[in-house]
């Protein structure tokens, strides 16, 4: 939760300017920052504030809770080829290679998450050839085209249930 210390806030609007989501505004009347529901707790405003007026309160996680997390999970991002068929992005195979290197030390299960519409997901057998121990298929009509809400909900639900200690995703255009 983003908290505002109104005694420290001078209404400089720096937090408002740096927020990539437009989730913090400075009230023109009282010159104090206000947080909107669109806040993602990214921390950009906290880092920019020169007056220590903003803090993010996060839930502490116990060591016992962290011990429940095991495995390396990779988002198997798909893309459309030249004839509009879905295919697994090359970065997924690169991440599987990195996961195998890391796994020489960790010795954990490597899994891949594939999201897409029913009947249009490409063959997944190749993922096992590249080092995946298991593949999770999430098929739904709403996953045909990327949407932040839909994909985030599906992946977050899987992470909460499977509890991987590491999650990889490609940072490609």
Q: Per-residue pLDDT tens for 35-92?
A: 999 888 888 999 999 999 999 988 877 777 788 999 999 999 999 888 889 999 999 9
The pLDDT of 153-158, averaged and rounded, is: 91
Looking at every residue in the chain, the average pLDDT score rounds to 92
- Which distant-in-sequence residues (6+ apart) come within 8 Å of 131 by Cβ? 96, 97, 99, 100, 110
CA-based angle 11:16:18, to the nearest 5? Answer: 130
Whether pTM exceeds 0.75: no
Q: What is the pLDDT of residue 12?
A: 95
Q: What is the pLDDT of residue 42?
A: 86
Task: Report which listed range, 78-87, 92-101, 134-143, is most confident.
Answer: 92-101
The answer on pLDDT for 152 being more than 70 is yes
Better-scored residue on pLDDT, 173 or 90: 90
User: CATH for 2-56, among 3.30.70.20, 3.30.300.30, 2.170.130.10, 3.40.50.20?
Assistant: 3.30.70.20
Q: What is the pLDDT of residue 173?
A: 65
User: CATH for 63-168, among 2.60.120.260, 3.40.50.620, 3.30.70.3040, 1.10.540.10?
Assistant: 3.40.50.620
Domains of the chain, residue spans: 2-56, 63-168
Give CA–CA dist 4/164, Å, rounded. 33
Give CA–CA dist 111/164, Å, rounded. 9
């Amino acid at each position: 939760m983003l908290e505002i210390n109104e005694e420290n806030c001078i209404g400089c609007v720096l937090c408002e300017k740096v927020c990539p989501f437009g989730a913090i505004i400075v009230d023109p009347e009282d010159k104090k920052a206000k947080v909107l529901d669109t806040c993602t707790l990214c921390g950009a405003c906290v880092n920019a504030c020169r007056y220590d007026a903003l803090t993010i309160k996060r839930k502490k996680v116990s060591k016992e809770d962290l011990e429940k997390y095991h495995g390396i999970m990779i988002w198997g991002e798909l893309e459309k080829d030249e004839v509009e068929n879905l295919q697994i992005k090359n970065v997924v195979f690169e991440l599987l290679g990195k996961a195998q290197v890391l796994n020489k030390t960790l010795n954990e299960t490597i899994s891949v998450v594939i999201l897409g519409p029913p009947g249009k997901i490409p063959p997944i057998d190749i993922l096992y050839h590249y080092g995946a121990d298991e593949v999770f298929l999430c098929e739904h009509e709403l996953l045909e085209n990327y949407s932040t809400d839909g994909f985030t909900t599906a992946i977050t639900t899987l992470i909460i249930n499977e509890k991987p200690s590491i999650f990889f995703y490609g940072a490609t255009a």
